[in-house]
């Protein structure tokens, strides 16, 4: 992450929450590293953020994503 982006984040310029809309666009890449970790790599114009997790942590994150997706489907209006 660029130092300026970190400073803006710490000053509160990037304050976000789950339900607050934002205009930040980012790319997300997910894959294994050569060290046996799972990397989530987030890249936006303001920053690059590599996040490494051991396989067990990655599975927990995957389960949380599935649970969140299922809840989001419940919120969507039915046709």
- In the chain, where are the structural domains located? 24-79
Residue 1: per-residue pLDDT: 43
Residue 76: per-residue pLDDT: 83
- pTM, rounded to two decimals: 0.68
Strand stretches in 1-79, DSSP E: 27-32, 38-44, 47-53
Query: Do residues 23 and 8 make contact, with C-beta atoms less than 8 angstroms apart?
Result: no
Question: What CA–CA distance (Å, rounded) separates 62 from 56?
Answer: 10
Query: Do residues 38 and 58 make contact, with C-beta atoms less than 8 angstroms apart?
Result: yes
Strand stretches in 1-70, DSSP E: 27-32, 38-44, 47-53
């Amino acid at each position: 992450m660029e130092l300026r982006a970190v400073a803006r984040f710490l000053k509160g310029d990037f304050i976000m929450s789950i339900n607050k809309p934002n205009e930040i666009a980012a790319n997300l890449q997910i894959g294994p590293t050569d060290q046996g970790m799972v990397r989530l790599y987030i890249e936006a114009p303001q920053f690059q953020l590599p996040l490494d997790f051991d396989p067990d942590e990655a599975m927990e994150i995957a389960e949380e994503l599935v649970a969140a997706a299922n809840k989001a489907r419940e919120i969507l209006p039915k046709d």
